[in-house]
Amino acid sequence: MNSNRKKYRLFYKIEEHLEIPMFLLAVLWLYFFIIEIVEGLSPTQEYLIYGIWGIFILEFLLKLFLAPRKIGYLKQNIITIVALIIPAFRVLRLLNAFRILGSVRLITSTNIIRALTSGKRFFSALKEAQGPQPSPEMNVGILIASADKEQQEQIKNFIHRVSDHVKREMEMSTGTQWFFDIADTTHLENDNPRYPSDFLDRASLQMAEGPYDLVVVVTDVALMSRKNILSAGLGSSVTRVAVISTKNILSTQRRVATRTYHDEPVQLNTVYLLLHLIGHILGVKHSAVSPLMRDFNFKKSIAAVPSFTEKERAFLKKNSANLPDRELKNGNFLETFIFHLLMTFRHLGKYFKPLLRNWAILLPLSLPNLATAAVAPALILVFTAEIWDVGLGMTNGTATFFAIISIMFGSFYLVRVQNLFLPRKEKRILTEHLAVANAVIYTSVFLACIGLFILVGGLMMIIELYVFPPDLITTWPTLNKPEVTLADKIRLAAFISTVGVTTGALAGGLESKTLIQHLALFKYKT
């Protein structure tokens, strides 16, 4: 019994890890098939095809050996077996007579069959990765982050009263059930002002563990927006996280805490603020004439919390089916990747808005470690004879290829090594909006690497144009080039910049808190 269980685990583990490599090999085989039809294959390409075929056979035999039910596995993979047998006829050249007809070659070639069977699994994973339609209810997790341990119970009781009011209004406005749960309490080391991004790691972890459709962070320290403006509350429609500062609600204009958690205006204003933030997170537009969706200001004489307008309620009810977050549970690499793509396309507006706000291409200017690690070696290389020999000797295509590779490698390395994807700790569940947030994070880092490339390349161009004497390079002993044109200098600057981006990613790293803070995931609303 234990032996079968171990085989099951090993079988599915190997299948999970081999899915992407085998799919890429299938695509490569399809590429060779197209080349064969158009112009024919070289001997090397023929050997590569047979090598890939051999890998497919080894993969199938390995899975067959590990499959607990071998007969059942064979029955489920009839097409794959046929696809693996057909190349044998090709090796024996028994199908040469049929090769006159291009259509027959298309039908009988295992290249296309394997690609199609892999494509079928790919699209199957694509469909499954979307996850089932969630049940029509909203689960909200509340995270209390307090610097004063003695007030934690007070804050809990206060939030219970506030959430009861919010629950009633949201259920009336959406027509679905809402559940509020205090997920966790955490103690802050000091009462220094915080940015909402400081709570994002913990909030995203709670969202995955819950799993919750929305997380509210309640803190008793001052809250700062990305523009360093004190705020009572900030919300992110991308991550579905709202942060509320009770200190900014309890304090007067002189920032002296003269109000208490028992004051009715404090409770009603907090309800007002939370509804305001939840409305923004769910897509209700800001409006100067709306009782709830205009700018929040503490109202001393508030007698009751206003409700959403009929138009706003109609919008929420219309979209109520899409309010709960989809979830991916126990996804492998391929399913996780597809889930990120699908959720991003479902929320293109939420994906692009932070990218337009954060000016990620200028992020290297706010990340000195990254910029220094990229510029320092570039400054050494530009004064080295060997780099000029290499840079001026390469083609524009080669320089472009290396630039693309360095930017892609740098961004991927930074995201993976710095563990920037949410939640930071590996979890079984990935929610819909965390997937969108991850897409924003990766794209921002990718744009930051492009900005770093432009920064280093621009600096190299300045040195080449204004520091080096015009005739110095043409008289270089090892350089067999009578004239160095502007295009040559641009190509050299780009090549040196690729080295700078790579070393910057490997050695410089990111100040992850600074980066997340600059991503503009939270929009200043109050």
Beta bridge partners of 179: 139
What is the helix (H) or strand (E) element at residue 30, kind and residue range? helix 2-38
Proportion of the chain above pLDDT 70, given as a percent: 76
What would the mean pLDDT of 249-276 be, rounded to a whole number? 83
Q: 299 and 236: one domain?
A: yes
How high is the pLDDT of residue 113? 44
Q: 107 and 211: one domain?
A: no
CATH code for position 250? 3.40.390.10
Task: Verify cis geometry, omega within 30 degrees of 0, for the bond prior to 211.
Answer: yes
Confidence of residue 455 (pLDDT cuts 50, 70, 90): very high
Helix %, strand %, coil % for the chain, to 5? 65, 10, 25
Q: 336 and 472: one domain?
A: yes
How high is the pLDDT of residue 91? 43
How high is the pLDDT of residue 23? 65
pLDDT tens digits along 62-113: 777 777 677 777 766 665 666 666 555 444 433 443 343 333 333 334 444 4
How high is the pLDDT of residue 105? 37
Give the residue numbers spanning the domain of 38: 2-129
Q: Give the residue from 106, 129, 152 where a domain finishes.
A: 129
pLDDT tens digits along 324-381: 888 888 777 777 888 888 889 889 889 999 988 888 888 888 877 888 888 888 888 8
Task: For residue 479, tell me if it sits in a domain.
Answer: yes
Q: 396 and 304: one domain?
A: no
Q: What are 145's two structure tokens?
A: 């982050």
The tally of domains found in the chain comes to: 3
Q: 192 and 81: one domain?
A: no
**Do 119 and 161 touch, CB atoms closer than 8 A?**
no
Task: For residue 525, tell me if it sits in a domain.
Answer: no
Least confidently predicted of 34-48, 122-136, 212-226, 358-372? 122-136
Q: Which of 276, 200, 173 is nearest to 433 (CA)?
A: 200
How high is the pLDDT of residue 383? 81
How high is the pLDDT of residue 472? 64
Task: For residue 526, tell me if it sits in a domain.
Answer: no
pLDDT at 387 over 60: yes
**DSSP assignment, residue 523?**
B
pLDDT at 484 over 90: no
pLDDT at 413 over 60: yes
Q: What is the dihedral of CA 440, 441, 442, 447, to 10 degrees?
A: 80
What would the mean pLDDT of 427-450 be, rounded to a whole number? 89
Q: What number of other Cβ atoms are within 10 A of residue 107's Cβ?
A: 12
Task: Name the phi and psi angles at 187, rounded to 5.
Answer: -100, 130
User: Residue 483: is it exposed, middle or buried by C-beta count within 10 angstroms (0-12/13-18/19+)?
Assistant: exposed
Q: 240 and 292: one domain?
A: yes
Q: 143 and 124: one domain?
A: no
Strands 177-187 and 214-219: unpaired
CATH code for position 57? 1.20.120
Q: Give the residue from 303, 322, 341 where a domain finishes.
A: 322
Q: Give the residue from 82, 109, 129 where a domain finishes.
A: 129
Q: 162 and 187: one domain?
A: yes
pTM, whole model, 2 decimals? 0.73
pLDDT tens digits along 283-293: 999 888 888 99
Quick one: residue 131, left, alpha or beta (phi over 0 = left, psi -120 to 50 = alpha)?
Answer: left
What would the mean pLDDT of 142-170 be, rounded to a whole number? 92
Q: 287 and 173: one domain?
A: yes
Rounded Cα gap, residues 456 and 460, in angstroms: 6
What would the mean pLDDT of 114-134 be, rounded to a whole number? 52
More confident residue, 510 or 139: 139
Handedness of CA 278, 279, 283, 287 (dihedral sign): negative
How high is the pLDDT of residue 450? 93
pLDDT mean across residues, the chain: 79
Task: For residue 523, tell me if it sits in a domain.
Answer: no
